[in-house]
A = this chain, B = another copy of it.
Amino acid sequence: MINPKKLRDAGAILKNYKRGEVLFYEDAIARYYYQVDQGEIKMNNYNQEGKEYIQGIFAKGKSFGEPPLFADFTYPANAEAIIDSKVWQLPKDKFLKLLEENPEIHHKFTSTLALRLYYKAIMVSEISTQEPEHRILRILDYFKKNNTTDKTDSLSYKVELTRQQLADLTGLRVETVIRSIKKLEQKGELSIKNRKVYR
């Protein structure tokens, strides 16, 4: 996350997006650095049959869609508002200038990319070799880690993801997620209180 004040000073503007609105499409050329101010943005792909894969969900303070700003390639996925959102938008050249003039921001930014690469490396391995329950737990733990400081395994973290979103994040079908979650509850790996998952 870059300090919003710094962003504004560098020339960023705050844009509003309604639930369902698309910020950019897969294969488009990247022109801006984006950072969530309010709301939730997802990046996703659809295959020929319309099956969705969610690359990531970005909440307050998170940036997304930066990699294509650094090299000659287009967006690997779409970006869409999950709920009504406000997003900082900084033109590419101004963003690169900002990094250039602020080595500490550049370093922090590199760390962010590194962490995202780490997450992707784990997920691609999970999806290709692990069974549904294992994959789901990984996603839950990733969201828990990113949204709490709680390091216990007390099943106290409330998962704010629908079964469908979990399916789209893990490459599974919603029915499979529902059934797997039930099994995980029986095994004591998570708990379900009026339909909400706790991990």
Looking at the assembled complex, report how far the CB atom of A64 sits from the nearest CB atom of chain B, in whole angstroms. 11
Q: Give every chain B residue within 8 A of A66 (Cβ-Cβ).
A: 114
Q: Give every chain B residue within 8 A of A77 (Cβ-Cβ).
A: 121, 125
Q: Give every chain B residue within 8 A of A45 (Cβ-Cβ).
A: 125, 129
Tell me, yes or no, whether A164 is within 8 Å of chain B by CB: no
**CB contact between A120 and one of B99, B120, B129, B170 (< 8 Å): that residue:** B120
Looking at the assembled complex, report how far the CB atom of A5 sits from the nearest CB atom of chain B, in whole angstroms. 23
Tell me, yes or no, whether A115 is within 8 Å of chain B by CB: yes
Looking at the assembled complex, report how far the CB atom of A124 sits from the nearest CB atom of chain B, in whole angstroms. 4
User: What's the Cα separation between A171 and B67 when bound, in Å?
Assistant: 25
Tell me, yes or no, whether A3 is within 8 Å of chain B by CB: no
Asked if A47 and B113 make an inter-chain contact with CB atoms under 8 angstroms apart, the answer reads: no
User: What's the Cα separation between A171 and B66 when bound, in Å?
Assistant: 27
Q: Give every chain B residue within 8 A of A120 (Cβ-Cβ).
A: 117, 120-121, 124
Looking at the assembled complex, report how far the CB atom of A35 sits from the nearest CB atom of chain B, in whole angstroms. 16
User: What's the Cα separation between A141 and B70 when bound, in Å?
Assistant: 21
Tell me, yes or no, whether A103 is within 8 Å of chain B by CB: yes
Interface-located stretch among A9-17, A86-94, A104-112: A104-112
Q: Give every chain B residue within 8 A of A76 (Cβ-Cβ).
A: 118, 121-122, 125
Looking at the assembled complex, report how far the CB atom of A172 sits from the nearest CB atom of chain B, in whole angstroms. 8
Tell me, yes or no, whether A83 is within 8 Å of chain B by CB: no
Tell me, yes or no, whether A23 is within 8 Å of chain B by CB: no
Asked if B106 and A110 make an inter-chain contact with CB atoms under 8 angstroms apart, the answer reads: yes
Asked if B68 and A129 make an inter-chain contact with CB atoms under 8 angstroms apart, the answer reads: no
**CB contact between A70 and one of B68, B110, B123 (< 8 Å): that residue:** B110
